[in-house]
Amino acid sequence: MYKFTENMKKRLKLITDIIFKFLTWPVYLVYRLQKRVFGWKKGFVNVTQACSLIPGVCGEWFRRGFLQWVTGQPLQDCCICFGSTFSDPRISIGNGIYIGMHCDIGYATIQDDCV
């Protein structure tokens, strides 16, 4: 049986993070369009609500990928669980955070390694 080393795990996470960031590019474009039509806050809420409905680990990576586009932050080792939405795009999210299921985050600063 093949064992993954810590270095290999870090590389796989980085590659997966890059893949999901580019998979969320069309969603970011939808956000930009909705921002023009509905306003910056309502457009952001609409897209984060849609992203919150993707289940499992893929949903966590997807939400993180989208939020990387909006916030411009790397969001390394972050877990944003199913059903969690954001109601204000002026959020600041640190690395290593955990946001549980069905949370609604407004205008906030979440520092590194917070739950």
DSSP string, 24-81: THHHHHHHHHHHHHH-HHHHHHHHHHHHTT--HHHHHHHHHHHHHHHH----TT-EE-
Q: How many CB atoms lie within 10 A of CB 14?
A: 11
Q: Give the global pTM.
A: 0.90
Tell me how far apart the alpha carbons of residues 7 and 104 are, in angstroms, rounded to a whole number. Answer: 34
pLDDT at 42: 94
pLDDT for 1 equals 59
Contact 56, 79 (CB under 8 A): no
* pLDDT at residue 30, as a whole number: 96
Instruction: Say what angle helices 6-23 and 25-38 make with each other, to 10 degrees.
Output: 40
Low-confidence ranges of the chain (pLDDT < 70): 1-2
